[in-house]
A = this chain, B = another copy of it.
Amino acid sequence: MRCRKCSSRALIRLPRHNSAFCAVCFDDYVLEQVRRAIKGDRMFGRDEGIAVAVSGGKDSLVLWEILTRLGYRTMGLHIDLGIGSYSEASRRKVETFAQPRNLSFVVHSLRDEHGAGVSEIANGMRRPACSACGVIKRYNMNAIAAEHGLPVLATGHNLDDEAARLLGNVLHWQDDYLEKQSPALPNAHPKLVRKVKPLYRLAEREIAAWAVLQKIDYIVDECPNSQGSKLLLYKDALNRLEAAAPGTKHHFYLQFLDRQKAREALVPLVADLRECTSCGQPSTGEVCSYCKLIATLKVAK
């Protein structure tokens, strides 16, 4: 198997591109996909500071590494979810990544703030852990980025994540979510930062391979709360379809985005947002989801 670009010995096959690359050309390919996402979807400019959501997993650390190599000014943002040894190990991975590279980052600890981790908070709400976790991460990530004057929040969501989420939204015909599923969400309110997903053109296995080649030390375990999650189920279904027809995920998600852009040109997205009466952050209701969630925690105490 030969590299498609330089004909030296290939290291990785990319069936969906009917291609194979050596280590050097694969590195070019990965960086090019990210550059293309940033530019093509107008994610951010050279002069903007970027908050990078870093969990300690491969996707977020790879994202941070690439943005740094591309010369962007970044600040890492880690939410310590307080899930026992899993969260401790995750936090250490972020620290060990950032320190030798001289990258600045902030850690927000749920236990320090609320005396409870995400699992207890979710239990208190009688909600699945992943649903409470989503609210908590979205809220804090946005608030902290805004607090530090960073106009953009970048997350490590990859092609597999986005295609699986799209499949879930389509299976349930979730129009609201379908409308909002974009790799570059503008800030619909002055207190909301822009949200971007620069890795959306890269498949999970491409990111994992790149992380190994770059010797990035990341937390390999999945979050213990994600066991049996719907998203993993959708990923598995798509992986089976992908194995039989390479390019399935790619076309499914990228064609969706093309259609969405065409539609948005006709009907621009308008969000009806006010400020939460409890915390002042943007909200669609009188009280935001995060404050409702934290309120149940206080009642439970």
Chain A residues proximal to chain B, CB less than 8 Å: 170-173, 228, 230, 233-234, 236-237, 240-241, 244-245, 248, 251-252, 255-256, 259
Contacts and interface: CB of A to CB of B under 8 A. Distances in A.
Contacts of A244: 228, 230, 233
A259 B173 contact: yes
A101 B256 CA distance: 50
Contact of A237 (B170, B172, B237): B237
Contacts of A237: 237, 240-241
Nearest to A173: B255
A266 to B, nearest CB: 14
**Interface of A (DSSP majority class):** helix
Nearest to A168: B241
For the complex of A and B, list the 8 residue pairs with the smallest distance between their C-beta atoms, beginning with the closest. Answer: A237-B237, A173-B255, A171-B252, A233-B244, A170-B170, A237-B241, A237-B240, A171-B248
Nearest to A232: B244
Contacts of A234: 241
B173 A241 contact: no
Contacts of A233: 240-241, 244-245
Contact of A171 (B172, B241, B259): B241
A237 B234 CA distance: 9
Contacts of A230: 244-245
Given A230-B245, A245-B230, A173 B236 contact: no
A252 B255 CA distance: 20
A255 B172 contact: yes
A117 to B, nearest CB: 27
A256 to B, nearest CB: 6
Given A173-B259, A233-B240, A237-B237, 15 more contacts: A170-B170, A170-B252, A171-B248, A171-B251, A172-B255, A173-B255, A173-B256, A228-B244, A233-B241, A233-B245, A234-B241, A236-B240, A237-B240, A237-B241, A240-B240
